[in-house]
A and B are shown apart, each in its own frame.
Chain A
Amino acid sequence: MEPERFQETFKRLEGEIQKVIVGHDDVIRKVLIAFFAGGHILLEGVPGLGKTLLVKSLSHALGMSFKRIQFTPDLMPSDIVGTEVLADNDGRREFQFKQGPIFAHVVLADEINRATPKTQSAVLEAMEEKQVTVFGESHVLDSPFMVLATQNPIELEGTYPLPEAQLDRFFFKLLVAPPSPDQLREILKRTTGADVGECAKVLPDDGGKLVNEMKLLLRQVMIAPPIEDYVVRLVHATQPNGEQSGSSNGSVKQFIRFGSSPRGAQSVILGAKGNALAEGRVHVSYEDVEKVLSPALRHRIILNFQAEAENVSADQILAEVMKQVKRN
């Protein structure tokens, strides 16, 4: 695939989603990058910011199957992955696998933190292995497959915070911020009038093939060794016991309990590659890395009690890390 075609498709997808979603351009871009990088997204924001609409618009623009799972405390794993049901087959009764809502290209796990950990963990295998196992039988999920989970940061009562292992499986964690007055005005104009905007389908019918080609191209994007080294040093600097954090970054030692995993570094590089392609380049620059660092690492850094007490966010610490770690 030509890089130009990738960029063109990407831009069109972005444009179509932006027809429905006002603002959140950065979120839209990162969602698309994560999609082509083969990752999953955790969207965090207060209710009513258009998170669900964003996911719906994405699936619509991609022209792919979309399922929504509303996570509740009584949701069972089988409600997600599916179950064996007794079915009548030409007079014979046998168990048949009934697919759950996870079997879709784009899955919206709405308010994922409201389900029990048992149910949450059912999504783990699906997200990482792109398959589910029911009664010992594995079922491969559709490709491309993407989970977009949302969670509400304010209504924490009766919620089950996602375990670190599950958080690590999300490619990006995106924060959906409230709209600015101008954006709100635009939202009102678009949604309260007679003419409600709808996004068009961008990908052709065999969109899966094109998406896979785009995914392959994204992985071929070149990255210079000094930039790769920069990513390594950045990720290593988030370790409270790392060499870098000891000497240069006091806030890491002070506020971080656990640093980023290697999966975080993978996410940074793939995200940077996606960003480079989206900008029409075939190589990663330092800026690409810095743009995707926070969404790729903010949920992978486990803050300690002191950070929570002092209201220090992961983004603040990552900004400090970026200041401390110099480019080559």
Chain B
Amino acid sequence: MASSSHLEELTRPETVVLRLRAQLGNHALWDAILILLPPVLASLWATYFLVQGAWVSPLVGTAIAILANGFGALAVTLRYRKRIPKLPQAAQLVDKRAGAKDHFLTLATIDPANCPEPLLSRLRQDAEELVGRVELTRDFPYKVKTPMYWSAGSSLIALLLLYFLLPVAGAMIHPVSTSQRLRQLAEKMAQAPQLKELAEPLKTLAAKLEDTKIQPEEKQAAVKELEQKIAERRKQEDEKKNRDLLSQAADELKGVEQQQSAGGQEQQKNQSQGGGNLQSNLPKEGQGEGKQSQGGGGADGEGQMSAQSSKEMEQGKSAQGNPKEPGQDKNQQHQGDAKGNQPDPNQPGKELNKDRADKGQGGSKEGSGKNQSSEEPPQSAPPAERFYQAGEGKDGLKGARYVTVQLPEEVAADGKGESKATKEGTGKQRRSQVPVSNVPLPAHVPNAPAEKQQMPIEYRGIIR
């Protein structure tokens, strides 16, 4: 009895509409899950992949996974809610399937309180006659929709792309260093029992290569040594896999060796171009302060700048030519420093005199003449002692001839402050004293002026 009443209840037109609505709601839920599940799963897998590849930290990976899950759940809920069919829609579907003329729609949506009972019962009776034509599971089966295939397909493609492109991108963004590669090789070798003995030295070499304190020569020697060992081992090895591994290691070491030697050459070159330490403190012709500068420590920039200025000097240009250039400014500062360290207290006075004398003699001398420091002994060495000839001493030259000049008063007065020549030339260099005398340098010093100097014509009148 109870079951028959339950059956009646189930077959009532209004109940059929409600059942269909619930069924379509379930379909909508499945649709939402099946459409959104592949992207969520793909994003979880991608996160795992990123964590495995050390692209993101596990914490970030967990956060991404939680976010992906949350977003997926939210999207499913939103989509599901939006797609739950409304009662009129479900009723219309039943009407359509049963071939009714909006019987179910009217029954499902009308307010019974406002309807005359005879008409309502008549409508219900009509609908019950039609309800037999509808079987919900048969007429409204669940179908996998096209967007689901799209979703699954696109997620799969995205995953495959990630799988294949991420290592490539990783190699491009973070290239593995030589020592890392050597370590990896060492690990591989450690797994092969025959090559175990080579794994440890390889690791040690990798550590050595990373150590900046170790000299390049030492590194190179270590590389060569291990290279030899590997070559010997390779000759003995029969197994192809091991041989391959050894060849790989040999190649790698060859590469390291080349790198090392190239690095050494470059360093040497840098040093020879002025960036390095001074080999000799003897000034060469055409070479300016670049070589004298103390900054030989190895900074490439400075080295290059020095080299450049040396070249320019060789071409007859002055290192002080363009005061605006920062490199040259720096050079000039060095110059200044160098001069400041000049042990000879009389030097400044001599310099200006010489300067003026050079200017007066014409452009040919200007290249070397303007560069006062090139005429001076290098500051690192005792200035005068090495140039002493027999009979010379700290007290002066025996039998040397002195040329004493006196400048006009206005020039002398000007010279007390910043001279015009100084302003134009160095800008920063100061010549505090107006030279009143000139001591010619010994003849063997390069660029040294001749002992007998022609006095400039303009000065001849004022020499007393």
Contact = CB atoms under 8 A, between A and B. Distances in A.
Interface residues of A, number: 20
Given A225-B109, A328-B88, A3 B102 contact: no
Contact of B105 (A220, A221, A227, A281): A227
Nearest to A276: B101
A188 interface: no
Contacts of B88: 224, 226, 328
A224 B115 contact: no
Given A281-B126, A282-B119, A224 B109 contact: yes
A227 B106 CA distance: 9
Interface band, chain B: 10 to 19
B291 interface: no
Interface string A283-314: 11111000000000000000000000000000
Interface string B89-117: 00010000000011101101110000110
B123 interface: yes
A112 to B, nearest CB: 36
A287 B106 CA distance: 13
A3 B116 CA distance: 12
A283 B109 contact: no
Contact of B102 (A2, A220, A221, A285): A285
A42 B110 CA distance: 34
A3 B105 contact: no
A2 B110 CA distance: 20
A222 B123 contact: yes
Contact of A285 (B101, B108, B116): B101
A283 B116 contact: no
Interface in A208-226: 220-226
B102 A222 contact: no
Contact of A224 (B110, B116, B119, B122): B110
Given A220-B116, A328-B88, A226 B105 contact: yes
Nearest to B108: A224
B120 interface: yes
Contact of A227 (B102, B108, B120): B102
A3 B110 contact: no
Contacts, number: 53
Contacts of A283: 102-103, 106, 110, 119, 123
> Which residue of B92, B122, B126 has the most chain A CB atoms within 10 A of its CB atom?
B122
A230 to B, nearest CB: 10
Label chain B's interface by main secondary structure: helix
Contacts of A226: 88, 105, 109
Nearest to A282: B119
Contact of B115 (A222, A286, A327): A222
A296 B123 CA distance: 26
Contacts of A2: 118
Given A224-B106, A224-B110, A328-B88, A282 B123 contact: yes
B119 A3 contact: yes
Nearest to A281: B101
B109 to A, nearest CB: 5
B123 A286 contact: no
A222 B105 contact: no
B161 to A, nearest CB: 42
B123 A284 contact: no
Contact of A286 (B102, B103, B119): B102
A61 to B, nearest CB: 26
A283 B95 CA distance: 13
Contacts of A287: 101
Contacts of B108: 224
> Which residue of B92, B101, B106, B126 has the most chain A CB atoms within 10 A of its CB atom?
B106
Interface string A1-12: 011000000000
A49 to B, nearest CB: 32
Contact of A220 (B92, B106, B119): B119
B84 to A, nearest CB: 16
B110 A222 contact: yes
Nearest to B95: A285
A225 B106 CA distance: 8
Interface in B118-160: 118-120, 122-123, 126
Given A221-B119, A284-B102, 6 more contacts: A220-B119, A223-B110, A227-B105, A279-B101, A281-B123, A327-B92
Q: A-B pairs with the 4 shortest C-beta distances?
A: A285-B102, A285-B101, A283-B106, A224-B106
Interface of A: 2-3, 220-227, 279, 281-287, 327-328
7 contacts: A3-B119, A220-B119, A222-B106, A223-B110, A224-B106, A283-B123, A284-B106
